[in-house]
Amino acid sequence: MPPEIFKIILQEILQGLDYLHSECHIIHTDLKPDNIMVRLENRELLSQNARDEFENPLPQKHCGDGRIIYLSRKDYGPLKDIIGLIEIVDFDLAVQGDILQDGCIQAEVYRAPEVILDRGYTYSADIWSLGVMLWDFLEGRTLFKAVDPRTVEVYDDETHLSYITSLLGPAPKDFVSRGKRTSMFYTAAGTLKKEDLVPSTFSFESTVSKFDGEEKRMFIRFVNRMIKWKPEERSTAKELLQDPWIHNDYPQI
């Protein structure tokens, strides 16, 4: 996705999250690319799509029982207007945000460390998911490829925590000490039991290819406000909307 388009989309996602968190007091708990929808920028596209199908129908499969299976027409062509409004969807797993929640939430690759350790979560879990999602939009791949179900057969919590450690450094002791599952992954001294899993070459800098120079540094500073060990240290959606990177060369919407 072109960065200039994504900055506009990201502003709308953050506005939506700020509304959910500040006004509705809701934690989405399942933020992922599949749950971010873009409205058609022009409803005339639907009429044009119908005309195209009538004049040049896509392949069809005629079944023996009389059913017809149609191939979907997915290409609506280049943008004819400004990009449509962004919507956050799928609130089946949403929970109240003004109390500390517990339990397992989030798609695995977007899961926050406090959820992995089962130490309770709040609005900031959504902020973590959004931070990780930026790689899907900008780089066309997930940040934590080593635990992505699309590339590995079995998700592994220890591997996930190891990659987070490579990005952020060792987890603060007061953070890991309060997790119900901490003893599964950490020693009494607060170090990972399997430190050999921590990759030596994995970093924000090594995973960002779409930017360079000052733009890259600004982007990484922006991401660092979301991807932090301690939930209370992550910026809110409202605060992120004021970040210099998101408005660099592009106006606030």
What is the reported pLDDT for 146?
A: 82
Comparing CA positions, the residue from 109, 97, 116 lying closest to residue 134 is: 109
Task: For domain 3-41+86-246, give its CATH number from 1.10.510.10, 1.10.540.10, 1.10.357.10, 1.20.950.20.
Answer: 1.10.510.10
Single-letter amino acid, residue 221: R
Task: Give me the mean pLDDT over the 48-59 stretch.
Answer: 76
118 catalytic, yes or no? no
Identify the bridge partners of residue 95 per DSSP, sorted by sequence position.
27
Q: What is the pTM of this model?
A: 0.85
Q: Is residue 114 within 8 Å of residue 120, measured between CB atoms?
A: yes
Catalytically annotated residue among 30, 126, 136, 243:
30
Residue 77 pLDDT: 64
Q: Percent of the chain scored above 70 by pLDDT?
A: 89
Q: Are 88 and 16 in contact (CB under 8 A)?
A: yes
- Average pLDDT score over the chain: 89
> Could you give the CA distance from residue 196 to residue 176 in angstroms, rounded to a whole number?
19
pLDDT in tens, 117-163: 999 999 999 999 999 999 999 999 999 988 887 778 889 999 999 99
* Domain locations along the chain: 3-41+86-246, 44-78
Which residues 6+ apart lie within 8 Å of 164 measured at CB? 113, 144, 171, 229
The pLDDT value given to residue 179: 96
Q: Above 80 in pLDDT, residue 46?
A: no
